Amino acid sequence: MKRLLLFAMMCVSMSFVFGQKKGDKVVKVTSSEIRWWGYKVVKTVPTTHSGTVKLKSGKFTFDKTVLIDGEFVIDMKSLMAGDVSSQDADMVKLTNDLKSSNFFDVKKFPLAKFHLTKIIPLANSDYNSTVYGDVTIKGVRKTITFPANVYITQFTVVIESAKFSLNRRDFKVFYQSSLKDYFIKNEMDIQFKISTEKLDNENRTPVKKKK
């Protein structure tokens, strides 16, 4: 009886897995831009730091033409303070500090992840959608939502997020036993643009392919 029950459960599990895979189409992200902002307690332009981090990989999964979800992997080793081409000594020092165990500990946690779970349309707003998903930083996973402009045409996806906040302490991103941490705001801001096609730098829409 136990063997029969186990066999039945295996069959149900297999049919569920294969049922999900049937008809799925995976589309890779080919264009991305991720920016971040951090602030001291006294929030002014001179006390604001910003920078970039790169997307390692990203993909959207469709069932026929319906978007099911998205999976994105962020390369934390690419984390940088200041402009990408900046060689400013202070920015280099800040970049190294952010990558150290004081903050993101990229040696131990080289990747961060975001799993997009659903997109809900918005009306009468500056952004046309609310994006839901799970973000994992330093091994800590949190469910988040943020507004974004989302454009989906067949298997082409463009997402331009608003600037939204994460609490760094939720992900254990802080100076350990240091007074320096009290001078840094807990909120860190993120904004990103991703697309399954190369984006035009001016209007952030997919570049038209030459015929």
What is the per-residue pLDDT for 179? 59
Q: Is the pLDDT of residue 45 over 80?
A: no
CA distances (Å), 196 to each of 34, 69, 200, in order? 15, 14, 12
Whether residue 204 lies inside any domain: the answer is no
So what's the pLDDT on residue 126?
Answer: 92
What pLDDT shows up at residue 81? 93
What are phi and psi for residue 143, nearest 5 degrees? -85, 130
Task: Indicate the pLDDT class of residue 82, thresholds 50, 70 and 90.
Answer: confident
Q: What value does the mean pLDDT take over residues 54-79?
A: 95
pLDDT tens, position by position, 87-118: 678 888 889 989 998 899 999 999 999 999 99
Q: Which residue has the tokens 């049922």?
A: 19
Of residues 47 and 105, the one with the higher pLDDT is 105
Side chain identity, residue 193: K
Checking if the pLDDT of 4 tops 50, the result is no
Confidence class of residue 49 from pLDDT cuts 50, 70 and 90?
confident
Assigned domain for 14 exists: no
Whether residue 89 is contained in a domain is answered as yes
Domain count, the chain: 1
Residue 112 sits in a domain whose CATH number is 2.40.128.110
Report the SS3 class of residue 2: helix
**Considering the domain boundaries, does residue 8 fall inside one?**
no
**Burial (0-12, 13-18, 19+ Cβ within 10 Å), 45:** exposed
pTM, to two decimals:
0.79
Domain encompassing residue 40: 24-195
In a domain, 163, yes or no: yes
Task: Write the CB contacts of 49 (distance below 8 Å, at least 6 apart in sequence).
Answer: 37, 38, 39, 81, 82, 94
* Pairing of the two strands 140-153 and 129-137: antiparallel
Cα distances (Å, whole numbers) of residue 152 to 62, 85, 127, 185, 201? 11, 33, 14, 36, 19
| pLDDT for residue 34 | 97
Strands 24-28 and 31-39, by their bridges, are unpaired
Within-domain flag for 9: no
147 and 154 in contact (C-beta within 8 Å)?
no
